[in-house]
Amino acid sequence: MSSYDKKFHEKTKNEEPRALAKKLMEVLANPSRIIDLGAGAGVDAKHFIENGHTVIAVDRETTVLEDLKIELSNKNINGLEVVKADLYEMKLPQVDCVYASFSLPFCPTQLFEQKWHQLESQIPNGATIAMIFFGKNDSWAEWTERFTFHSKSEIETLFKAYDLLYLEELENEGTSMRPNGEIVTKHWHTFSVIGRKKSII
Ligand SMILES: C[S@@+](CC[C@H](N)C(=O)[O-])C[C@H]1O[C@@H](n2cnc3c(N)ncnc32)[C@H](O)[C@@H]1O
């Protein structure tokens, strides 16, 4: 998996930040400490740092993230910490925001509920979350042994302890990368969510 991830990171490292990363910048107090789970090539992490935040970028494959860290520190920018870890198994540090773009669905459907509970229960009250999930009309939807897919009502249930600031459901034709690096077309169905965990009084 790791050589695929590295290839994917090399391919995406010069892309624009995700729309959700830009949207998050409109609602997040500055400066915040953000953890980016499944940070990939670090494009969004870099965008957050450029907007005055600090970032802990977590991924199971961190070669390209380490290169980004060196590139930034050569410019005297020190807001990036890189952590090589399984995002579902790690102990979450104290953060203001948990960001996860196209990473949380990389979990077998059978394991998602338990893994989500383990992760979500560590998110502090008052923290902001911004996350992208896969929907059930996605063309990968039969690969439940690798991924997890949600309906809109399941997403709303996942976030019932949150004030939802933004929920966008999107279906579009796009591309994905095969393990051999080939780019193929696919139908994407996604939910992008921004929310704030309610404080229990
Ligand atoms: C599709 S990429 C998305 C990368 C980036 N967030 C983006 O939006 O472009 C999924 C990323 O999640 C990472 N990933 C998937 N499952 C993971 C896990 N259990 N622990 C850590 N990283 C994981 C992969 O290595 C990859 O970098």
The CATH number given to whatever domain includes residue 80 is 3.40.50.150
User: 164, exposed or middle or buried, with CB in 10 Å at 0-12, 13-18, 19+?
Assistant: middle
List the domain range (segments joined by +) for residue 132.
Answer: 2-197
* Residue 25: φ, ψ to 5°: -65, -20
pLDDT, tens digit, for every residue of 90-113?
A: 999 999 999 999 999 999 999 999
CA of 11 to the centre of ligand 1 (A): 14
Minimum CA distance residue for ligand 1 atom 16: 106
Report how far Cα 75 is from the mean position of its chain's Cα atoms: 26
pLDDT (0 to 100) of residue 40 = 98
CA of 104 to the centre of ligand 1 (A): 8
Number of C-beta neighbours around residue 173 at 10 A: 9
Is the entire prediction scored with pTM above 0.95?
A: yes
pLDDT, tens digit, for every residue of 160-197?
A: 999 999 999 999 999 998 888 889 999 999 999 999 99
Q: How many domains does the chain have?
A: 1
Of the candidates 130, 132, 13, the residue with the CA atom closest to the CA atom of residue 62 = 13
pLDDT (0 to 100) of residue 1 = 57
pLDDT, tens digit, for every residue of 46-64?
A: 999 999 999 999 999 999 9
Verify whether ligand 1 is closer than 6 Å to residue 101 (CB atom).
yes
CA of 165 to the centre of ligand 1 (A): 24
Q: Cβ neighbours of residue 88 under 8 Å, at least 6 residues apart?
A: 107, 115, 118, 119
pLDDT (0 to 100) of residue 129 = 98
Q: Cβ neighbours of residue 119 under 8 Å, at least 6 residues apart?
A: 87, 88, 92
